[in-house]
Amino acid sequence: MRVSTRQLAALMATVLATLAGGYVVTGQLAVAAAAGCRVEYRVTNQWAGGFGADVTVTNHGDAINGWTLTWSFATGQNVIQAWNATVTQSGTAVTARNAGHNGAIGTNATVNFGFNGSWTTTNPVPSTFTLNGTVCGGTPPTPTVSPCAGPSTPPASPSSPPASPSSAPPGRVTVWLAGDSTMANPSGGAACPAGWGGQFAPYFTSGVTVVNSAVGGRSIQTWLYDPNVTSNKNSAGECIVSPATYSSRWRAMLDRSTGMKAGDYLFIQFGINDGTSTCPRHVGSARYKELLGVMARAARERGANPVFLTPVAAIRCDGNTAVGNRGFLTETFDAAAANGNVPVIDLHRLSYTLYNRLGLCPNNGDYTQGAVGAFFCNDHTHFEAAGARQIAGVVAGAVRNQQIGLAAYLR
């Protein structure tokens, strides 16, 4: 029997699809990818009665938009707090649903989330996971467990492949961060506080470099002019700057060769230390808006894109409700309008909204236990790494929701 070229091509397509794990529907329908997935569940830290876990889901089927992962725990295991997913539990049944920024998973792409949990007698790795109704194949790896005296620290970066060339935006950009301790990297190897800026990079593809120049204890003026802000006020009630020379960190951003360039982004978040009544940190309302404008104009002169953020909220409860507690909110929006409608991420509102969603109120002032202890350091302001990771996710979600150009680089 002679086989035509067209018949031979169809036969080869069938063989290749079968070898690749797909299936073929005869007739006029095209080859369809087989549904499939793999889950890697890793215990990152474990301590008496508690643990942290990292979960990576790989989709081997058709691209999906919106995912639900389910599994069952042993008796006595419970989820306390999660990031990058909404995780609920009923009895031993656990359900994780995508966050607003990571609902899409392309074919052979991955998504990552983590959580803190509690356990009683044992803490085994779940044996079966189901993604959107499909049982995932593969055997979960043996958990890596290390002793820890406190809450889990989420991984520094999620396991996720770079975006495909066809979907990745052209070129590379740098995101420059200017802010205070709630944004800054941990100092001196300390686990706490961890600012959200140190957890921001994992939300982006490899086309983004994050340079975190936030420094603890700084107002916008001390960040710009260290160490030249004096302890004396002028007749207008503002701290005297002498000499009026920029700090090394701001000069580095302004450098024409190695600093901000066309297409970059400058994220600016102050307003926590600025309300101090004494110098050198004190900044008045008018001066605050003036300095935001200085930074926005400098970024634009170099082709970079400024983004203002209102100060992240501390945890303050009014009964069962987390409420706002920061100043310089109106000033931030006013400065944005006065400088050509700079985008504003209202991180103040978004952060206390997150605290309410996580049920961090009511609170008796003990920041060492439970969900509040896993989110905050032993104070009401600074974050554990898990909390910082979630605040970074809130900022990334706002970038996407507000359609800021940087959203093209989000995972």
Q: What's 75's domain CATH number?
A: 2.60.40.290
319 alpha-carbon distance from chain centroid: 28
Residue 160 domain-assigned? Answer: no
What's the pLDDT band for 45 if we cut at 50, 70, 90? low
> In terms of domains, do 68 and 23 share one?
no
> In terms of domains, do 24 and 93 share one?
no
Residue 281 domain-assigned? Answer: yes
pLDDT of 169? 53
Number of structural domains, the chain?
3
Residue 190 domain-assigned? Answer: yes
Mean pLDDT of 327-353: 96
Residue 262 domain-assigned? Answer: yes
> In terms of domains, do 115 and 245 share one?
no
> In terms of domains, do 196 and 303 share one?
yes
The two three-digit tokens of residue 28, written as one number = 């006029």
pLDDT of 11? 43
Measured CA to CA, the distance from residue 312 to residue 305 in angstroms comes to 21
Residue 329 domain-assigned? Answer: yes
Residue 146 domain-assigned? Answer: no
Most confident range (mean pLDDT) of 1-5, 21-25, 308-312 is 308-312
> In terms of domains, do 70 and 10 share one?
no
- Given a contact cutoff of 8 angstroms between Cβ atoms, the answer to whether 391 and 309 are in contact is no
> In terms of domains, do 319 and 402 share one?
yes
- Which residues sit opposite 37 in a β-bridge? 59
Global pTM exceeds 0.95: no
**Residues 216-273: pLDDT tens digits?**
999 999 999 999 999 999 999 999 999 999 999 999 999 999 999 999 999 999 999 9
Residue 387 domain-assigned? Answer: yes
> In terms of domains, do 91 and 1 share one?
no
- For residue 268, what is the domain's CATH number? 3.40.50.1110
Residue 49, phi then psi, degrees to nearest 5: 85, 0
pLDDT of 42? 85
Measured CA to CA, the distance from residue 317 to residue 361 in angstroms comes to 6
Average pLDDT, the chain: 84
Indicate whether 204 pLDDT > 70.
yes
Indicate whether 208 pLDDT > 80.
yes
Measured CA to CA, the distance from residue 297 to residue 301 in angstroms comes to 6
> In terms of domains, do 10 and 112 share one?
no
Residue 96 domain-assigned? Answer: yes
Indicate whether 29 pLDDT > 60.
no
Measured CA to CA, the distance from residue 12 to residue 94 in angstroms comes to 43
> In terms of domains, do 129 and 222 share one?
no
- Structural domain that includes position 98: 37-135
> In terms of domains, do 197 and 71 share one?
no
> In terms of domains, do 77 and 177 share one?
no
> In terms of domains, do 83 and 188 share one?
no
pLDDT of 400? 93
Indicate whether 28 pLDDT > 60.
no
Buried/exposed 72-111: b ≥16 CB within 10 Å, e otherwise = ebeeebebbbbbbbebebeeeebbbebbebbeebbeebbb
